[in-house]
Amino acid sequence: MKTKSLFLSVIVAGLFASCNSSKTVLPYFTDISTIKEGSFPAENYMPEIKPDDELFISVTSINPEATAVYNVPTLNPATREMFGNTITPTPQTYVVSSTGDINFPELGKLHVAGMTTEQLQQELTNQISKDVEDPMVIVDLVNFKVNVAGEVNNPGQIRVTRNRFSILDALSAAGDMTPYGERSNVLLIRENNGKKEYVHLDMNKSDVLDSPYYYLQQNDYIYVEPNKVRQANSKYNQDNAFKLSVISTVVSAASVIASLVIALTVK
């Protein structure tokens, strides 16, 4: 009797250990959850312009006529004479070439890859100031977007409207992780210098806040892995669906056979 009780106790303990090992730690940054206050170094991060990026550039000044030539595509003299003042100057978007360049009106080819939008804004301001008094230049990165997939409440593409956008911002915009999201294994895929880089981030640890992957870059892809409970449930559901499909097929076949036997017996 004692042996039987001991055997049952070992089985129960094993089941509990198995259940506990499959649990996901839900809170973020558990390593500082009991620390009342602290700080991390603040990084003055700005995303760099890359090939295929789309830039919105607007140039204005107190004298709009002086900056009009910087807001329309470059036209040859014959075309300008043909259309005259019927062309309305408007800010333009520029797609960065594979070599990292844009063709800017009046200034020609500019190498912009590797610069931040603030650096490009300052560079354009300096060059245009040679001919225009107090120009005001705006440079925005139009195609800044990231994708969040996996165990989040609202997966999909997120359009970013500011320069500093962190992985916490992305997870918040995606409705946060579901209870089935594995916080200790969040995959981030990034294209850098023509290569696909990837890193696994542990959102239970605060060192993410000081990681070079904390602030996101354009076209970053974030994947939240399902935990063991979600995977087990999915496998269970798939197995059950397969079993039901087999049973349904067998029952249908048996019904057809039974109908044939009855029909032949009646004859």
Residue 230 binned pLDDT confidence (cut-offs 50, 70, 90): low
What confidence score (pLDDT) does residue 242 get?
Answer: 47
What is the identity of the amino acid at 162?
A: R
Considering only CA atoms, give the Rg of the chain: 31
Over residues 242-252, the pLDDT tens digits come to: 455 556 666 66
Using DSSP, state whether 68 is helix, strand or coil.
helix
Over residues 102-113, the pLDDT tens digits come to: 999 999 999 999
Q: Which residues contact 120 (CB under 8 A, 6 or more apart)?
A: 49, 55, 112, 139
Tokens at 226, concatenated = 């399902």
Q: Is the pTM of this model over 0.95?
A: no
What homologous superfamily does CATH list for 54-141? wza like domain (3.30.1950.10)
**Sequence spans of domains, the chain:** 23-42+144-226, 54-141
What homologous superfamily does CATH list for 23-42+144-226? Outer membrane lipoprotein wza domain like (3.10.560.10)
Given a cut of 60, whether residue 13 has pLDDT beyond it is no
